[in-house]
Amino acid sequence: MSRTASVTENLTDYESDDLRLDLRWWDALNYLTVGQIYLQGNALLREALAMEHIKPRLLGHWGTSPGLSMIYVLLNRLINRTGSDWIYVTGPGHGGPALVAAAYLEGTYSQIYPHITSDAEGVLRLFRQFSSPGGIPSHVSVQTPGSIHEGGELGYALAHAGGAAMDHPDLFVACVVGDGEAETGPLSGSWKLPNFLNPRRDGAVLPILHLNGYKIAGPTVFGRTSDEDMVAYLRSQGWDPVVVEGDDPEQVFRDLWAALVRSHEQIMALRESARGGDPSEQIRHRWPAIVLRTPKGWTGPHAVDGVQVEDTNLSHQVPLSGIKGNPAHLQILQEWLEKYRPDQLFDESGRLVEELRALAPQGDKRMSATPFANGGRLLKELPIKDLQTYALDVRRGVTTHESTRPMGELMRDVYAADVTEDGGGTFRLFCPDETASNRLQAVFETTDRCLQAPLRPTDQKLSADGRVMEVLSEHLCSGWLEGYLLSGRHGVFATYEAFAMVSASMTIQHVKWLQHAQDLAWREPVSSLNILLTSTCWRNDHNGFSHQGPGLIDSLLPLAPGVVRVWLPPDANTGLSIMDHCLRSKDHVNLIVLDKQPHLQYLSMEEADALCAQGAGVWDWASNVGPREEPDIVIAAAGDVPTQEALAAAELLREWTPELKVRFVNVVDLMALLPEEEHPHGYTDSVFEDLFTPDRPVIFAFHGYPRAVHQLVHGRSNPGRFHVRGFSEQGTTTTPFDMVVLNKVSRYHLAIEALRRSLKRPPRWHELTAHCNQMLATHETYIREHLEDLPEVRDWTWHG
């Protein structure tokens, strides 16, 4: 095992004056961190502290911040020595004031936010804005220059770091993992990164597992784990860790510097070996990692009111939380701040002194200014062919095809055209072991699945240089893609619909990030997060109830309208049109729901493009009224299976009750149902009523939970006229048609509902109702005897 003694033998590159300056920079960061938490006045301690100088609400997290700041200081020195490019990913994102302080001392903060000036007044504004109304959040949020990871919801730091490194061959990503975060499931899975990071074409991730021993209420598991066990665990995951620990700042700085130099040298040697050798040879390697043990709340008050605070969980947030009305606590804060000697850190004007300013890297080499953390600065358009290349030649309602297969062909050609000299590119598909299952396997005509582990002769479409990222973890797929996008790339996350809920919270957090990023002019737009849900609830009849759930739609609908888009294409050509749009879009989260099984096809490429541009449209060929005629009832559908059932219902009504005037509407852009003031895609009332009429009953066959449509049409004229049938949590292993029967979305249920809700009773309505009920009874008997659907259902096509 590598111990501190073994990494401190060669310190020739770190002289005593280097250490002195770095410790002073660290003092400045710690001072600014404490000031942001506590002070609303007297920012540079130019007079004795008084109660009026203390904020009325003390918010923020001190415990992790000194460790984060120490790492930042030493990485800056490494950047200056090597000229390398680094991103700093802060897993313990609650240490936000430390990263804000770093961006301020580097000068980036004042460049981006000119009102936070580099003087005493600017320091005061920096303090007053932190965790304050009209100010900035407490975490390493989107407002923090250099951040691609807020670190509020724990578990995703290492996944984001891995994604950011992919296809950035010269980039280094320092990823600080807190020992609280290390207890989460997503982070535990993230340690597998060495099996997927290719030193030939990818950047490097340097995990720094910061073990300060405690989370908010007690000790952490890794904090109480021995060094031997920690090293063994990380080695088992493909890392080569070194341990640095201590509570003496001078010694820990020296040891951590040596560990960082060692890690940098290992990475450079690994790159040289990988990029200078035979490209056909598989590279066996371990990536460096650092286990850093320092006290929680380091350099803060050791004890308060006789109770130890430093190096305990009590320093996690605000060590002195009861200052107001407590002069003794105010005195402790005064002494704490004075320990950092602010009079020696800032000159008379309040600006950082010159010899410390000189320590910051210059320009884009600053971690707070790097374009790799503002990915829109690096973004290039994808080479996408004309969609006619992949379009299906459709015989309306008769042609059958796997609707996602053309998307795989489109992505295949994107991969082929998007290759850089180092074998990388700017596009990747991320999928939990389901690329072929989701009918996207055409991508394997161009590239392979990526794996850095040993290969076997029986492996197929698997190589170290493959660029399809398959790992059986929705968290990793989503996290890698998010990091990949935020550092200036493009991609798609494809997964089974039900299991997208595994990473739903990650998606929600990404929406929140983009929502605030859109308000920051300095944040350049990034490529959208594109989520393709296949193997949907309606056609997971072979897997059963656990695989049946459309919940991600409901998770995203209430979120930021400037970000969220939900697409429900009815067929392959419509899916192609949507995918093309989504791959070209920026700053959105696009949810595309399209089943992988063979389905009837309805629209030509031109018709599909027109429908997608409109968001929804009347299908005159499926209606029995003219465009300007008032219907008796509207049948609407959103989603592939609901569209088929709604069309079959419309055909039943046409055959049995031709006097009933039916308009058929298909909705592909779900957000268009919202009023125009609630979403950029929302329809005006006049457009909405042109589709659905002002007052006629609407029978809506919907892919997801019915409540979603009711939520969207709330506020429209007479929303109670919308009668929505959708997934109602009825599922099992059964036949495809039985799934729609169980959830009462079948053609027979829809036809009965249309007759029941219609304002007029056409001749033979009762006969059609009886026929539908009889067919439902026949269906139930038939599938139990024959174990498949009725031929008239199974082989149904549109006859018009």
CA distance 373 to 451: 26
208, 360, 739 from 541: Cα distances, Å:
45, 59, 7
CA distance 115 to 484: 32
CA distance 151 to 741: 44
Quick one: pLDDT at residue 800?
Answer: 72
CA distance 452 to 422: 17
Question: Closest Cα partner for 480 from 197, 94, 238, 208?
Answer: 197
CA distance 77 to 58: 33
Quick one: pLDDT at residue 6?
Answer: 39
In this prediction, the residues of the chain whose per-residue pLDDT falls under 50 are 1-12
Q: Would you call 5 helix, strand, or coil by DSSP? A: helix
278, 613, 671, 713 from 682: Cα distances, Å:
55, 13, 6, 10
DSSP 335-359: HHHHTT-HHHHB-TTSPBPHHHHTT
Asked whether the CA dihedral 53, 58, 60, 62 is positive or negative, the reply is: positive
CA distance 150 to 34: 20
Burial 440-454 (b: 16+ CB within 10 A, else e): bbbbbebbbbbbbee
Q: Is 777 exposed, middle or buried (CB count within 10 Å of its CB: 0-12, 13-18, 19+)?
A: exposed
Pair 404, 438: CB distance under 8 Å: yes
CA distance 367 to 352: 18
Q: Which helix (H) or strand (E) holds 592?
A: strand 589-593
CA distance 579 to 429: 13
**Residue for token pair 């320009």:** 363
Pair 267, 218: CB distance under 8 Å: no
Q: At CA 786, angle to CA 783 and CA 787, rounded to 5?
A: 60
DSSP 559-584: S-TTTEEEE--SSHHHHHHHHHHHHH
Pair 298, 310: CB distance under 8 Å: yes
SS3 for 658-714 is CCCCEEEEEECEHHHHCECCCCCCCECHHHHHHHHCCCCCEEEEECCCHHHHHHHHC
Q: Identity (one letter) of the amino acid at 127?
A: F
Quick one: pLDDT at residue 281?
Answer: 66
Which strands make up the sheet holding 85-90, listed edge to edge? 85-90, 171-178, 204-211, 287-293, 239-245
Asked whether the CA dihedral 459, 465, 468, 470 is positive or negative, the reply is: positive
Quick one: pLDDT at residue 101?
Answer: 98
Which strands make up the sheet holding 449-450, listed edge to edge? 462-463, 449-450, 468-470, 427-431, 490-496, 529-534, 589-593, 564-567
Q: How many CA atoms lie within 13 A of 267 on its CB side?
A: 28
Classify residue 502 by its DSSP letter. Answer: G
Q: At CA 401, angle to CA 399 and CA 404, rounded to 5?
A: 140
Phi/psi at 799 (nearest 5 deg)?
-105, -20
- pLDDT (tens digit, 9 = 90+) per residue, 732-784? 999 999 999 999 999 999 999 999 999 899 999 999 999 999 999 999 999 99
- pLDDT (tens digit, 9 = 90+) per residue, 653-708? 999 999 999 999 999 999 999 999 999 999 999 999 999 999 999 999 999 999 99
Q: Which helix (H) or strand (E) holds 252?
A: helix 249-276
Quick one: pLDDT at residue 280?
Answer: 60
Quick one: pLDDT at residue 9?
Answer: 40
Pair 505, 479: CB distance under 8 Å: no
Q: At CA 304, angle to CA 303 and CA 305, rounded to 5?
A: 120
Pair 290, 208: CB distance under 8 Å: yes
Quote the tokens at residue 792: 């008239």
